[in-house]
Structures are given as C-alpha cells and as structure tokens.
C-alpha cells in the first residue's frame, strides 16, 4: 500500500500535463509494425552526453511575482517530500520513511551551480520525478532554483 501511495504521489506533478502525450525514460513511442518483408533493424541509439548542468547559467532575474509563483510551484510539486521550509520533512517523506536532504541547510546546495540544481529538477534524481516541461517551462524551473536557494537563507528570494 505504501508503494502505491509513493507511486501516486510521484505522479501528481504529471497530472497537470495528462493531456500531453508522454514517453517514459526517453523511450521511443511504439509504432505499428511493418510486414516481415519490410522490417528493418534500427540503428542503436547514441548514448546521451553526460551533462549534469554545471555549465548552465541561470538567465532569470527574480521578481516579486516570479518568486511568488516559484513558492506556489514548490508547494504543489516539492513540499510533499521536501517540506514547507525545505527541511526534508514533508508528509510523504515522513510517512514513507524517505530520507530527504535539508534544503534549508546552506551546506546542502553549497558547491552546486544553479545549472546543476536546474538539471536535477528538470530530469529528476533517485526517487524524485522530473518536472515536466508541459507543466513548468524553463523560466519557471529557473525561478524555482532561486526560491530553493532562498530556503537556505531563511527568507524569500529578493525581487529585483
């Protein structure tokens, strides 16, 4: 039952994009098979380059409105595991005995570039599902990065 609840909770961020066709793990969508005489063997897929996002630069300048939306997005998509203040004590994490990093601790994100944090949010990590592009565009995720950094300072991100 707990595994079912975790699965359901991990799918919540994707519910908003339910109308958009999805493929899982970059899998190729299935197509109708050709008759045996016309079947060809596909070339093996090239491995994706290893990119942890370290070289990506945050192009977003925070505003009061953008940080308000980032805080709301955090509440919808992140707080169930990471907790309202980032301590890793969200209701799902507690009930499922998940060990979450304390995002309110400045050392947690220290040494990570904004690009690395962006990539973790966008692609997911370990038990964390990816943030779907149909649900949150890149600017929304960049603003979420700024908001996450503000959690370790115990204050909202400054508006410029």
The domains found in the chain, sorted by start residue, are: 63-160 (1.10.760.10)
pTM: 0.65
Q: pLDDT tens-digit profile of 20-34?
A: 344 444 444 444 444
**Adjacent-strand bridge partners of 147:** none
Identify the pLDDT of residue 53.
Answer: 85
Identify the pLDDT of residue 126.
Answer: 85
Q: pLDDT tens-digit profile of 2-21?
A: 443 444 344 444 334 333 34
| Mean pLDDT, rounded, for 48-57 | 72
Q: pLDDT tens-digit profile of 74-108?
A: 999 999 999 999 999 999 999 999 999 999 999 99
């Amino acid at each position: 039952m707990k595994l079912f609840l975790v699965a359901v909770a991990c799918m919540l961020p994707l519910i908003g994009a339910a109308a958009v066709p999805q493929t899982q793990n970059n899998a190729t969508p299935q197509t109708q098979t050709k008759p045996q005489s016309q079947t060809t063997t596909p070339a093996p897929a090239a491995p994706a380059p290893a990119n942890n996002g370290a070289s990506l630069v945050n192009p977003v300048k925070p505003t009061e409105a953008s940080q308000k939306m980032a805080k709301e997005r955090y509440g919808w998509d992140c707080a169930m595991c990471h907790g309202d203040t980032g301590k890793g004590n969200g209701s799902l994490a507690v009930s499922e005995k998940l060990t979450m990093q304390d995002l309110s601790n400045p050392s947690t994100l220290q040494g990570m570039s904004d690009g690395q944090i962006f990539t973790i949010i966008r692609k997911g990590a370990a038990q964390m599902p990816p943030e779907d592009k149909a649900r949150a565009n890149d600017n929304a995720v960049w603003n979420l990065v700024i908001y996450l950094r503000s959690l370790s300072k115990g204050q909202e991100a400054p508006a410029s």
